[in-house]
Amino acid sequence: MANLLDLPDLPAPLQEDEDVILDRMLSMTDPKWDRRKGSYIYDAQAPVANQLAMQRLYMQNIMRSSFASTAEDEDLDRVVLNRVPTLTRIEAQPARAIVDIKGAPGNVIPADTTFSTVVLREDEEAIEFEILDQTERIIPESGRLSIEVVAIEAGEIGRIPSGAIQLASDIGINTVTNPVAATLGAEEEDNDSYRSRYFAYVSEERGGGNDGDYVTWALGVDGVGKVKVIPLWAGRGTVKVLITTITYEKPTADIIAAVKEKIDPVAGEGRGKGDAPIGATVTVVGSEELPLQVTATLQLQGVSLESIQSQFAEKMAVYLEELNQRAWETNDVIDFRVNYAKVGALLIDIDGVVDYTGLTLNGSATNVVVPGDHVLTQGMVNLHE
């Protein structure tokens, strides 16, 4: 995002540096006096010019910190909260996973049981998870049990791959693993994302329960990143609100419930007990996820397959985020596509990839159509030589 205060709109006096100020001060001094560097006049005026320049920098920083377009970090928080007290920066979110447990039937798994990844290198740290609802479990007769767990440390660190969890603090558990990768772990919302949500909030035309009202009401709930509104989706007086997270993932049931409670509480639905006006029955739905699986055979030169796999995953993450962002910037629920040729271009652009064959996206050598109420996620990437 461009820094507006670096543009000519900044008042000219505030753009002056120390040299410009000193030259002007010296030019206003009687020419009969020696004004060369090292002279009494020069040495007397130089510190003054320095302090005036410092004041200008201070004033520039004040201006930058006073507008949402240029403020950063705590200054941005202050600017946004002064205008919209309910629109807070989204805190770091812990990742969640499902663990499959095998153990003796009847064994009790305490509520404080922790699950951990295996450390394979000295520079690694184990990622620990705890039971989401903090309640004990009993292993059933089948000897198998699935539990939803949440990372103890919030942030992307908890987004572990499938099979990473292999340890448990409870000795009554024989084996434990996570069959699929963890989801939802995200760092604290960055400045650009927070700024974007703020501008989306204040730019919506609101009033009388129109689309803009529903967007701003939903964005005011912690954890909501983007919103789509479908009026009259099931007849008169009905509204569907589609939401996704700031990382374009399916929101948790807690976030969906919080949006429903704020806009149109279940107790008193349609009676104007929340933000929505009387007569509006609101359904809140989270975005569904569509994993994109990529398979291809590569011809490589001078590079390892592992290196290509890592680089391609990074490129795909950027591409999928661009597609999700573009699809969710509009209020319309319109299908969008993953371009087959674009994915191939991402592969061939990696240094060391000479050619590829057999490229498929979700099992087909064509574009992938994504429903407008979905978000794309990165599925299995199977590259081989």
The whole-chain average pLDDT of the chain stands at 88
pLDDT higher than 90, residue 186: no
Nearest to 247 by CA among 302, 309, 320: 320
Tell me the per-residue pLDDT of 296-350, one tens digit each, with 9 for 90 and over.
999 999 999 988 988 898 899 899 999 998 999 888 889 999 999 999 999 999 9
Task: Please name the helix (run of DSSP H) or strand (run of DSSP E) that holds residue 366, with its range, or none.
Answer: none
Provide the 3-class DSSP secondary structure of residue 109: strand
- The pLDDT, as a whole number, for residue 207 is 61
133-136: list long-range contacts, CB under 8 Å, 24+ apart: 135/111, 136/108, 136/109, 136/110, 136/111
Stretch 242-261: mean pLDDT: 92
Report d(CA 238, CA 252) in Å as an integer. Answer: 23
pLDDT higher than 70, residue 244: yes
- The pLDDT, as a whole number, for residue 298 is 93
End-to-end CA distance of the chain: 41
Highest mean pLDDT among 10-14, 99-103, 182-186: 99-103
Report d(CA 85, CA 64) in Å as an integer. Answer: 20
Phi, psi of 269 (to 5 degrees): -60, 130
Which residue intervals of 204-296 are DSSP H helices? 211-219, 253-263
Look-up of token digits 């509009």: 330
- The pLDDT, as a whole number, for residue 346 is 94
Stretch 125-133: mean pLDDT: 93
Architecture of domain 204-286: 2-Layer Sandwich (3.30)
Stretch 56-69: mean pLDDT: 83
Domain residue spans of the chain: 4-64, 96-177, 204-286, 289-384
- The pLDDT, as a whole number, for residue 177 is 93
Give percent of the chain above pLDDT 90: 47
- Which segment of 167-176, 345-354, 362-371 scores lowest on mean pLDDT? 167-176
Report d(CA 148, CA 101) in Å as an integer. Answer: 11
pLDDT higher than 80, residue 203: no
Stretch 43-69: mean pLDDT: 85
Provide the 3-class DSSP secondary structure of residue 129: strand
Higher-confidence position of 57 and 342: 342
Tell me the per-residue pLDDT of 68-113, one tens digit each, with 9 for 90 and over.
888 999 999 999 999 888 888 888 889 999 999 999 999 999 999 9
